[in-house]
Amino acid sequence: MGVRIVTDSAASITDADCTRLHIGVVPIHVTVDGHPVPEAELLDPDFHVRLAGMTQMPRTSQPAPEEFAETFRQILDAGDDVLAVLISAGMSGTVQSAEVAAAEVRTQRPGARIEVVDSRSNSMEEGFVLLSAAEAALDGETLEGCSRIARETTRRTRFLFTPRSLEYLRRGGRISGAKGLLGVMLRIAPILTAEKGLTGVAAVARNSHYARTKIGLLMRNDVEKCGLLRVGVQFFGEQETARAFAEEVVAPIAGMEVPVLPIHPVVGLHVGPAMGVAYETERPLR
């Protein structure tokens, strides 16, 4: 008997990591004008171009409890325990959906061992929490141990990113129209982060160039105080800028090769074209 890890598509985990660590992914759904968008279409590199031309914002919705329940049953049938590591409950109803599913399965199967962990973030920051738990599971750690490791990792991760525009956040209701207009008028470039499970502003800069520089300064300060275990640059529609940022800003701070990976559209469509860096430190940041 071992532990199998389950997550959602917001974590932006690569297929290679899913295979290596036996991770199951339950997708978050996207609809446009009430019609579901297939995963293959979402993952098209040009999806962000289509998004810019849409008059109506796509909508995201958490997986239904039965989707999680079916995945949980399959893992339990194979003789393993289940740990679900998911997007922040403050950003999505996915955690709640998984908890409903876990309660249902436990009722059907007394003694079923299922735990749900809120990663307190999304994208690669969520992914680092997930990877820590999955690697522990591969090393033979118990369900309780994997859950503890995941929760501890949430204190050692940060995701700093800057969107090209505040327009997508305004259209999606993440900021008020007045704040969005003010940002455009002042031409500020916000640096966003996840704090206490919600999206917040870590800093602001005069333009995108200064925002990237500021992100580097914030990261360097964290690394000098708390060390560094993992790092990755992510982008949505900003691939070339992200590659340059990884090479010129992040790699000199990290002292290691920096992967550059796309943000899954279930997250990207809420912020529009954006790029940033996620990292996991050796010691707690919070």
User: What is the token pair recorded at 268?
Assistant: 């990207």
Residue 175 pLDDT grade (very low, low, confident, very high; cuts 50, 70, 90): low
CATH architecture, domain 156-280: 2-Layer Sandwich (3.30)
CA distances from 239 to 21, 46, 167, 235 (A): 27, 11, 20, 6
Give percent of the chain with pLDDT exceeding 90: 76
CATH no. for 3-154? 3.40.50.10170
The residues, any chain, with a CB within 8 Å of residue 256's CB and separated by 6 or more, are 228, 231
Domain positions in the chain are: 3-154, 156-280
Long-range contact pairs involving 107-112 (C-beta distance under 8 Å, separation at least 24): 109/73, 109/76, 112/72, 112/76, 112/82
CA–CA dist 212, 61 (Å, integer): 31
The pairing of strands 157-163 and 274-280 is antiparallel
d(CA 169, CA 179): 10
The owner of tokens 């000098």 is: 224
Q: What is the pLDDT of residues 202-258, one digit of tens each?
A: 998 989 999 999 999 999 999 999 999 999 999 999 899 999 999 999 999 999 999
Strand order in the sheet with 274-280: 198-205, 189-195, 157-163, 274-280, 230-236, 260-262
Mean pLDDT of the chain: 92
Instruction: Give the mean model confidence (pLDDT) for residues 13-36.
Output: 94
Q: What angle do CA 137, 64, 81 make, to 5 degrees?
A: 20
Quote the tokens at residue 221: 């300060």
pLDDT in tens, 53-110: 787 788 999 999 999 999 999 999 999 999 999 999 999 999 999 999 999 999 999 9
